[in-house]
Structure 1
Amino acid sequence: MKQDNNAYNAGYILGISFISALGGYLFGFDFAVISGALPFLREQFVLSTLGEGFLTGSLALGCIVGCLLAGWMADRYGRRPGLVVAALTFFLSSLGMAAATGFTIFVGMRFCAGIGVGMASMLSPLYIAEVSPTAIRGRNVAINQLTIVLGILITNVVNYFLADKGPDAWRWMFGLGAVPSLLFLLGVLFLPESPRWLLQAGRQAAAQKTLLKIGGPAFAATVEENVKATVRNAPAPSYRDVFGKAVRPAVLVGITLAVFQQFCGINVVFNYTSTIFASIGADVNRQLLETIGIGMVNTVFTLVAMAQVDKIGRRPLMLMGSLGLCVVYVVLAVLLSAKAAAGWISLLVLLAIAMYASSLAPVTWVLISEIFPNSVRGKASSIAIVSLWGAYFILVFTFPLLAERLGAYGPFYLYAGICLLGFLFIRAKVKETKGQTLEELEQRLTIH
């Protein structure tokens, strides 16, 4: 049965979606803060190339743990408790990083921050997808990406103004993460639990209360009927169920898309902006200015993606983004190897960011939140996002090593090849999901 998408309470849905998506802001904060802080951390901890890669990537190792924890909590206790734990963990770890007295303590705190970020990165888009009517689900899930890029932009601006505050500026950069995490924690306390999870848990009255707020009696009845049809007589899910024959095709697509979103290489630009521009002789001030430009372009083109994802569709955006990045990377590598003027490098970097922000960045999160069956969505999403964070760790850990051996330009030829392979995979394996309820997608994307 189709949902009535014309009778929903848009203001209420947008409000709870934005609160949940504040988890994305934490993601964006920690993504950006390391770029601005690295010049200070290199001196503070006397970082080797290996140490720099591990310090940067330690967030991802925590994210892997956070995703696994979130998947277990989401299915057992609901989506909301996991969001509370994520916010509290990030709040405490932000203060811990700011106060760190040595490399080991800092990396340990960054690992803990990763647990919070990992939990939020899995639970926020999942929650938004489950409370959003079909017609606006893609746009609403993309709100999570919008808060990520706002976190990146605001953090880059703050980093720029803190950069001249002395050698301990990095402590303020990390410590300020406590502010958005506290706001996130307070907001989550007012969120309702996901009605789809409540229905699976047999708490129909509580689910109906939220569904009535979202879309009225007809909407509530439709969602209840759809969810009951997909989880009727289903046992409690295990991780073995996630790789069962019926679900496996969707899981493999989700994992591949998650890994591709990282191996496409764009997060090297976010995390190592200073390294890339230092390779052509730009000073620290220019490096930090470039991070602000990157944040602005990232924000604008994320808004473009939000406007188009429910119109153009998920698959066309992914195809355009992957092929576009392939071409841009080849040109960027050529210009970096020729030590072209900083203006040309900046133009190519911003073009790559625009390609990514309008396609792979938001749409991957949308697809991961959509393609898994109700009964295993929590665990399946956690596996896909664990894969994403594992790929992120490999990417940011290996870039300093690759850049040292191949030059800052060399890795971009590799990323171009990966983008071409990603384009071919999306063309062959990814199906369009716009305009269909989560339950309709479950019937279409799994084997019965």
Structure 2
Amino acid sequence: VINAPEMIIKDFINYTLEERLKDPPNKVLLTSLWSLSVAIFSVGGMIGSFSVGLFVNRFGRRNSMLIVNLLAVAGGCLMGFCKIAESVEMLILGRLVIGLFCGLCTGFVPMYIGEVSPTALRGAFGTLNQLGIVIGILVAQIFGLKVIMGTEELWPLLLGFTIIPAVLQSAALPFCPESPRFLLINRREEESAKEILQRLWGTQDVSQDIQEMKDESARMAQEKQPTVLELFRSRSYQQPIMISIMLQLSQQLSGINA
């Protein structure tokens, strides 16, 4: 979304620095700050993606999504008020915080969808997450047009717009069930997991699903937790890891997020 009003935001950076330094910033500094504003989102996303496990195993899938909405609100406020505060730092920090939020959510959401979806529909429901992401990108680009919100007056609201879906999600999530897999494997709350499965599947007989999760838990307990270095050194992990990395690289190198 930040690319659509690029020239307007560059003018904001230029004006802010000129007012602060009492001298127009040179082109190199201006380009560097703009590049940092864009790229730091990916830095936050990388840090957030590495932190997914810390959240989901401690707070659960649903509660993790609820908690990190605070990051979306904080990042949206920083970017939304950066023009009023005449602060380039708020813009950059807001981009970093939003990057953290997005990195975490790209792990939370597909995990939650997969664990609350019926096995037969898991793949279909899983694609809805990515579909929602690309629709969101499209809507953001449209809103960023000059005829809508890509103007000198409205661009801070455009960047702060992320607060609205975060608030809506925070209001809706308490009515959603926690992942039955998390309740059974992490919390050892079999009855709670069974009740949620019965409600989700619409049937009283969920013994097979419960047993599958128990078997999975037993296998996890027997396996040694590999370190990051072991993941790359082990031949059994090397191929799937390289395939995953190349798929992600090919997506980014295509320029879709440029």
Question: TM-score when scaled to structure 2?
Answer: 0.80
Match of residue 62 from structure 2: 80
The alpha-carbon distance between structure 1 residues 172 and 256, as it changes in their structure 2 partners (threshold 3 A), is same
Pairs within 5 Å for 1:15-164:
33-46=1-14, 48-100=30-82, 101-160=86-145, 161-163=147-149
Measure, in 2, the Cα distance between the counterparts of 1:263 and 1:49: 26
Post-superposition Cα deviations, 1:104-145, rounded to whole Å, max 9, x if no partner, equal 221111111111111111100011111112221111011111
Does the 8 A contact of 2:150 with 2:158 survive in 1?
A: no
Cα offset, 1:238, TM superposition: 5.2
Higher relative contact order (CA 8 A, sep 6+): 1
Cα offset, 1:76, TM superposition: 2.3
Cα offset, 1:270, TM superposition: 4.2
Match of residue 397 from structure 1: none
Secondary structure at the counterpart of residue 209 of structure 1: helix
Does the 8 A contact of 2:5 with 2:150 survive in 1?
A: no
What amino acid is the match of 2:143? V
| Residue 199 (1) aligns with residue 184 (2) | yes
The alpha-carbon distance between structure 1 residues 83 and 72, as it changes in their structure 2 partners (threshold 3 A), is same
What amino acid is the match of 2:69? A
Match of residue 159 from structure 2: 174
The alpha-carbon distance between structure 1 residues 250 and 226, as it changes in their structure 2 partners (threshold 3 A), is farther
The alpha-carbon distance between structure 1 residues 270 and 241, as it changes in their structure 2 partners (threshold 3 A), is closer
Match of residue 240 from structure 2: 253
Secondary structure at the counterpart of residue 34 of structure 1: coil
Secondary structure at the counterpart of residue 176 of structure 2: coil
Q: How many residues were matched structurally?
A: 236
Measure, in 2, the Cα distance between the counterparts of 1:263 and 1:40: 31
Cα offset, 1:217, TM superposition: 3.0
Does the 8 A contact of 1:86 with 1:117 survive in 2?
A: no
What amino acid is the match of 2:227? R
Post-superposition Cα deviations, 1:160-181, rounded to whole Å, max 9, x if no partner, equal 233564x233212112221111
Pairs within 5 Å for 1:335-350:
none
- The percentage of counterpart residues that share the same residue type is 22
What amino acid is the match of 1:211? L
Match of residue 215 from structure 2: 229
Match of residue 17 from structure 2: none
Cα offset, 1:228, TM superposition: 0.9
CA RMSD of aligned residues (A): 2.7
What amino acid is the match of 1:109? G
Secondary structure at the counterpart of residue 175 of structure 2: coil
Measure, in 1, the Cα distance between the counterparts of 2:229 and 2:184: 20
Match of residue 26 from structure 2: none
Does the 8 A contact of 2:4 with 2:141 survive in 1?
A: yes
Cα offset, 1:74, TM superposition: 0.8
Q: Which moved more, 1:96-105 or 1:191-200?
A: 96-105
The alpha-carbon distance between structure 1 residues 60 and 181, as it changes in their structure 2 partners (threshold 3 A), is same
The alpha-carbon distance between structure 1 residues 244 and 181, as it changes in their structure 2 partners (threshold 3 A), is same
Secondary structure at the counterpart of residue 177 of structure 2: coil
Cα offset, 1:48, TM superposition: 3.9
Cα offset, 1:226, TM superposition: 0.9
Match of residue 285 from structure 1: none
List gaps (5 residues or longer) in structure 2: 15-28
